Amino acid sequence: METSTPTWAAYLAAWIATVFLFLLSRKLHRRNLRFPPGPKPWPIIGNLNLIGSLPHRSLHQLSLKYGPLMQLHFGSFPVVVGSSVEMARTFLKTMDASFVSRPKTAAGKYTTYNYSNITWSPYGPYWRQARKMCLMELFSAKRLESFEYIRVEEMNSLLRLLYKSSSGGHPVNLKDHLSTVSLNVISRMVLGKRYLDESDNSIVTPEEFKKMLDELFLLNGVFNIGDSIPWIDFLDLQGYVKRMKTLSKKFDRFLEHVVDEHNARRKSVENYVAKDMVDVLLRIAEDPSLEVKLERHGVKAFTQDLLAGGTESSAVTVEWAISELLKKPEIFDKATEELDRVIGKKRWVQEKDMSSLPYIEAIVKETMRMHPVAPMLVPRLAREDCKMAGYDILKGTQVLVNTWTISRDPALWEDPNEFCPDRFIGKAKAIDVKGQDFELLPFGSGRRMCPGYSLGLKVIQSSLANLLHGFKWKLPNNMKPEDLNMEEIFGLSTPKKIPLVAIIEPRLPLHLYCQ
């Protein structure tokens, strides 16, 4: 008797039955899951229609309706948003290991050498090694202390430049000056010199480099539709991917020059001692005991990360601080009274003075509360299925912590929309910005906390203190404080939409501005 062979129709029927059973079992399984509350998603776009040009504010409004833990869909991907101290603590501390990875975005792929930097690299041996490098080598207390002279020199340069710019009562664009000093500080610490203002350097002009950094921050913070709806990614509907590829080529040309120049210098001297952070990275890359080899593109990715992270955050925070003070002259007077009493009028403020200037520290904290540079931190990714507050969060869910909402919580802050540094004097003085107090998280918390926060804090505090100590500030053209525009724009950082322009006047002996 001859055995009959199955026909293609039988194979097809079996395949359809298998798929049907798989989908049915998945649906039945999902019926037993309890997801956080949230708006019903639309087909294809999910809840992207609810996200405006300032996503942190859009999510804030949604959290008022759905609560401190809610789930949305960006295209086909689930996104969970935590908007309270309790949720932030759970995501960033209690269950930190479950949410320590990063989503894969076009920005991470195209602008950071395929997720090779500390910000966007996924959780794993490479990232753990990178974090250790940052903590033990690049941002160690000893190394930051060794670079203090650079920060002092560049601060003095800024004060001289502002003094010259103030002659004749001409208004100054504060952000431009702050960005310049931040870039000079970080380029000397990371690259070993002011690459960008040397006449013989034809790689990139200072103006081009500032534009590159601005573009990097913008493109790493945008909502790229292709990240949420992958099957239309190739269309690049917003044009962001094209801009990312263009930016990547510009940065790579510059970073190739940096690495080549450092390698040539290191090879020319026997027993060469590292002078800057790129030297340190290149020395680490040669270490045969590394768990994961640090390739050339990794050195470039870290260098780019260090440059970007060290310039934008401090300039943005100080500009917001001065803007808020111009709206409240009485706070300005209180700050200068403390400076005159503690520092006097015969010298500039030094980094070691900050512990004796509690009101200046309070102004910095209040600025970070009102105007967090990264209001939703950098997105995280669930590494596994888990339960949180009685809800199910599936592996692959993107996680956002909306610190902007936390900083506006009336249960935590009296008059949360008012700029009031005094709230950090006395009992609340203990609230710190170093990731342990979840009411205030300008640098994040947990394993993914910004590794360079201590440097950022030093630059922000000393910059603000010296700008307040050295100059009287007022708005131009008889502008009233209430007329000062305080709108913001969104990217990986959140700067003022309209840069601050102010009239400044020296308030210390003139010889100090010539040091």
Smallest CA-to-CA distance from 182 within 170, 196, 171, 172 is with: 196
Residue partners of 390: CB distance under 8 A and separation at least 6: 34
Q: Which residues are annotated as a binding site?
A: 450
Whole-number pLDDT of residue 121:
95
Whole-number pLDDT of residue 294:
94
Smallest CA-to-CA distance from 127 within 115, 136, 138 is with: 115
- How many domains, the chain? 1
Q: Please check whether residue 12 lies inside any domain of the structure.
A: no
Q: Please check whether residue 16 lies inside any domain of the structure.
A: no
Domain that holds residue 109: 48-514
Whole-number pLDDT of residue 430:
78
Q: Please check whether residue 309 lies inside any domain of the structure.
A: yes
Q: Please check whether residue 118 lies inside any domain of the structure.
A: yes
Whole-number pLDDT of residue 210:
82
Report the chain (515 residues): mean pLDDT per 10 consecutive residues.
54 64 53 92 95 94 97 95 97 96 95 94 94 91 93 94 84 89 90 72 77 87 89 93 96 95 90 90 93 95 89 89 96 96 96 96 96 93 95 97 96 95 80 92 94 92 96 92 92 88 94 86
Whole-number pLDDT of residue 478:
87
At 384 the three-state DSSP class reads: coil
Q: Please check whether residue 384 lies inside any domain of the structure.
A: yes
Strands (E), 437-491: 471-474
Whole-number pLDDT of residue 17:
61
- Residues 262-289 as b/e (b if ≥16 CB within 10 A, e otherwise) read beeebeeeeeeebebbbbbbbebbeeee
Q: Please check whether residue 78 lies inside any domain of the structure.
A: yes
Whole-number pLDDT of residue 311:
76
Whole-number pLDDT of residue 1:
43
Q: Which residues are annotated as a binding site for heme?
A: 450
Residue type for position 123 = Y
Whole-number pLDDT of residue 131:
93
Residue partners of 39: CB distance under 8 A and separation at least 6: 47, 50, 62, 66, 72
Whole-number pLDDT of residue 4:
45
Q: Please check whether residue 431 lies inside any domain of the structure.
A: yes
Q: Please check whether residue 11 lies inside any domain of the structure.
A: no
| CATH number of residue 474's parent domain | 1.10.630.10
List beta partners, residue 502.
Answer: 172
Degrees to nearest 5, angle at CA 441 with 438 and 446:
75
- pTM score above 0.95: no
